[in-house]
Amino acid sequence: MKLPILSRLRAAGSKGDVAGTAGGERYTLSAEIPGLRPGKPLWRINVEMHSEPQGDGERLHLRAHWQANFASALAPALGADGEAPPVAESGPGHSREMLPVQRVGQWLKRRLDNPLLRAVAEPLLRHDFNSWIELRASTADLADGAGALLPETARLRALGIEPKLSDAKNDAPLTQSWAGSAMGARPGFAQVSLLQIDKRHLPPALAALLGARPFQMAAAVINVAEEEDKTKR
């Protein structure tokens, strides 16, 4: 049975973004390693990039999501009570083949015989990990600089993060960070980082390449680790 690891790759010019602005381009990439449970791949990545004209410049929006379900996808593949995990059936005669996640599980199970590796791996196998990256950049003349590009300000405030506008007198990029308990169905940990950069923060050689054009960028990185859901064992 063949399972495509790379599920989608597309690069095409769009007639407009969701707001209907013409002249933009959109690129998307999606890939995953399937797991044993529907909707729970062992590993998945999704990347979207969209550029469009903005005023006298251009705006770029990049969004990426990386997911590793060690607890809900990989741990079951190790086989409970020393039993081998189930295999998939395919073909007219239902020949049985191991899924990619099962092969990884079998390989990892052999490596866990090493006490040192087991001590490192077992805490990871009790968690699912998600990371999101949201990046927005613009070469248009924005009154609030990089502060005008901050994503999802309402959600950031709900986390206790107060977005700040760039300080024209500050020569250092503006950074903020927050960490605490994940607000999901399972116990876990969440960490959020923000970065705002304006043209004055760039190295002189890079700023010179932009000439008279403005530049600003805002980025958010969110990392979430959730513990194993023992009720679904």
pLDDT digits (tens, 9 = 90+) for 38-78: 778 889 999 999 999 888 889 999 999 999 988 888 877 77
The answer to whether residue 143 is domain-embedded is yes
pLDDT band per the 50, 70, 90 thresholds, residue 163? low
Question: How many domains are contained in the chain?
Answer: 1
Sequence-separated contacts (24+) of 197-200 with Cβ below 8 Å: 197/146, 197/173, 198/145, 198/146, 198/166, 200/171
Question: Which residues, in sequence order, are CB contacts of 28 under 8 Å at separation 6+?
Answer: 8, 9, 10, 46, 47, 48, 49
Residue 102's pLDDT is: 77
Kindly provide the residue ranges of all beta strands, DSSP E only, lying in 71-115, ordered along the sequence.
88-90, 95-97
Residue 207: give the domain boundaries: 6-69+126-232
In which element (H, E) is residue 219 found?
Answer: strand 216-227
- 102 φ, ψ (degrees, to nearest 5): -70, -35
Closest listed residue to residue 48, CA positions, set 37, 63, 59: 63
With 70 as the cut, is the pLDDT of residue 173 above it?
Answer: no
Q: Using alpha carbons only, give the angle 48, 49, 52 rounded to the nearest 5 degrees.
A: 140
In which element (H, E) is residue 109 found?
Answer: helix 100-111
Lowest-confidence range among 8-17, 55-64, 157-166?
8-17
More confident residue, 27 or 16: 27
The answer to whether residue 194 is domain-embedded is yes
Q: What is the mean pLDDT of residues 190-215?
A: 89
The answer to whether residue 65 is domain-embedded is yes
The answer to whether residue 118 is domain-embedded is no
Report pTM: 0.71
Q: Using alpha carbons only, give the angle 144, 139, 161 rounded to the nearest 5 degrees.
A: 40
The answer to whether residue 110 is domain-embedded is no
CA distance 106 to 86: 12
The answer to whether residue 95 is domain-embedded is no
Report the DSSP beta bridge partners of residue 13.
25
Question: Which residues, in sequence order, are CB contacts of 134 under 8 Å at separation 6+?
Answer: 62, 63, 151, 152, 219, 220, 221, 222
The answer to whether residue 80 is domain-embedded is no
Which amino acid type is present at position 136? R
pLDDT digits (tens, 9 = 90+) for 87-136: 444 455 444 566 677 777 778 778 788 888 888 888 888 889 999 999 99
Residue 164's pLDDT is: 67
The answer to whether residue 43 is domain-embedded is yes
Closest listed residue to residue 141, CA positions, set 130, 153, 149: 149
